[in-house]
Structure 1
Amino acid sequence: MSETVFTYGAPSLKFGPGASRELAHDLTALGARRVLLVTDRGVAATGHPARIVDSLDAAGLAVTTYDRSRVEPTDASLTEAAAFARETGPYDAVLAVGGGSSIDTAKAVSLLTTNPGEVLDYVNPPVGGGRAPTEPLLPMVAVPTTTGTGSESTTVCVLDVLAQRVKSGISHPRLRPALAVVDPDLTTSQPAMVTASSGLDILCHALESYTARWYSDFDAKRPEQRVPYCGANPVADLFARQALTLLAGSFRAAIRDPSDRRAREAMALAATYAGLGIGSAGVHIPHANAYPIAGRVRDYRPAGYPQDAAMVPHGMAVALTAPAAFRFTFGATPERHLDAARLLEPDATGSGPDLLPAVVLRLMQDVGMPNGLGAVGYAEPDVTDLAAGALQQQRLLSIAPRPAAEEDLAAIIADSLELW
């Protein structure tokens, strides 16, 4: 019997220039008096967290700042953040100010300070134990300072599991923030490569949720079996298509001129829309591939990111195999792939499996992405290992519009070693 029900969940949303100046009101409305602000040192250097702390102090809230969130969190960094919260708490709420890394760190803090167990107990199987929280989490307010991750809207915390050299996630509806406060004014300080990488995360969120397996193609489930990622559906489609339309008119402009407020606001809204789409529909093959690509990095250090450790930023890791992945999935939903391509590039011509990959590749070149996996340190001998790592992401692969076996993933990854 086929599924007849889809679910949709989203945080309360406050959007617009200056929205972050109202956080004292928002946190007080949640009943918070003692607040843990979670950020990272790069974002702290912009002055945004300090300004927010001053406004909260002036309103009589007691704020403690944790500024050691790791860009691309690990199980170790999340454990450290939770230990800090336990030692300095208790708190009434958690406030995340930063990119997806800070927001995901705050999600883990909220989880691990209210529920028993360690990080790996909650990580999705087969990497971790897949435990579900049994106790309510602390209310969380997410204030993104990058335009892309969508973490302010989702039920997922993404992390690198160091011992297994793989990126995975914790997924549960209780991880969704109570409130997302999206202030485009906070994004003007992000470096060009951060804008490019996080913007490609927006792109892939929208494309993957729009091309995901349709919700009614799954077997029917009991209410308690339904998961946040339920496949493409009519509500998620609206957000995905609008995100693509906004990206088409703003992404290149935001790279060319970081001070272009119109482009920055459109990018922030696109990120919000795409996040609201994936929070219901989910993502598939490009994100599954991205986890081992980021988790097995050797020595690549992208401009605009901390240089103290090698990394492939999440949005970059997702985008590098996206053209080949969408070529692979084209046959399952040709009309959606073609529609997405023309939303991004209205003048694009063609009607076959290469149209969407070609549009994505042109965009990647224009925003300065590396030329394939080879440019971030991978080679042909790595393909088998990367495919095996991607295969572990069954939560994501199950949403793909076309089944992807290990040999399919290997072919996609091999095709992505060099892109142009």
Structure 2
Amino acid sequence: MPAPSRSPFDSATHVLVGYSRSVLSDLDRFLPPGSVLVLEEPEVIEKRGVRDRIGAHPSAALLMSAPCQDEAAADRFADAVPRPPRVRAVVPSVEYGAVAAAALAQAWGLPGATLAAARRLRDKVELRRTAGRSGLPQPRWAEVGDADGVRDFAASAPRGCVLKPANRQASVGVRILDGPADAAAAWAHTTTADEAGMRAPGALRPRYLVEERVHGPEVSVEVLVRRGRALFTNITAKSVQDDPLYPVESGHVLPAPLPVPVAAELTEAMDGLIRATGFGSGILHAEWILDAGAHPHLIECAGRPPGDRLTDLVDLVYGGHLVRDLVHVLEEGGPVVDRTGRTADGAAAIRFLDVEPGLVEAVEGVSGVADRPAVRDVRVGAREGDTVRGTTSSWDRPGYVIAIGPDAASATAEAASAAASITVRTRPAPEPATL
């Protein structure tokens, strides 16, 4: 008698909470075909065409609709998702699924961030309170509910301030203010900014905070954590676009060329953040600003793999496969991961394209850039006929180049030169018709 066929659900050994093309592509590299159950909000599935996209990933076994973004009811999320009989790990892949992933892992007795830690990381107000109780350095801040609250805070912030949503991602809604006169315009921008297709309507209660600006170099710290202990730490230097209102990242390079004492202070601060949040197992991606170039101040922290292709940059420089190590850390009975002695070999950088807003007429120079010896990847999402907007969040960036070099300065120069060699020609977009 032939053996009974196994359903796609029964074959799933890993659950991915939230659809991410980049994370799922990483899983394709080392997980068997048909081994990943992908959970996503039904509205996001439809808006992003996930059903059509999922077939490009051999590791995907099944796509299932689930209330991944209902953070208020996350402790009951396991009731909506049956446990696959062979499941070994729950992997958070997107910001809006991090709380649900932690809840699912906790309910199933698998390693994860812990639900309490995931909640602290997802809400910037709660993270600020947690950091304050633990004595971690951070900007002066306040939760605000209207433009008047922003105006009052800005009046007491001579160095300027930043208004942001407490539970969004990708710099969506982040706005710099020079003073109280900007409060109404900043509030209007922040409270109306959205991410088409990324969020389920009504899933997240709006919440906002304003904080005093910290002036200095910006860095991020990526840490692989197992049971509250850091197994691997990398520091990335980032650049921000030259815009007085919207501090969107324009590039990254790792490892960051920092003085040894500053790097040591950041590493110690990350250990403190792990303890303060009670984070269990997974990846932390924390953003810091070095006040006066030397003193780390916590800006925010995510409990999931970093975006902007940073995992690729880590792999290029340190070797191995960071997402595979993440999965092993999250697997029940997974192999021991030891990255503690791994050091960087050279540097890697990503540079995002700077394109004049308007209607795209032509895209030129991509093939020549791809042939450069130092270039490892080049992507341009803008196509002829598309409309390119001004960059007010990470989603507005039309493409990028990844390059390597013997050191941070060389890798940064290679990526910047390659990005500058790509031309996206635009002309002013026509004004929308009015009745």
TM-score between the two structures when normalised by the length of structure 2: 0.26
Larger Rg: 2
Higher relative contact order, chain-length normalized (CA < 8 Å, sep 6+) = 1
Give the TM-score normalised by the residue count of structure 1: 0.26
Higher helix share: 1
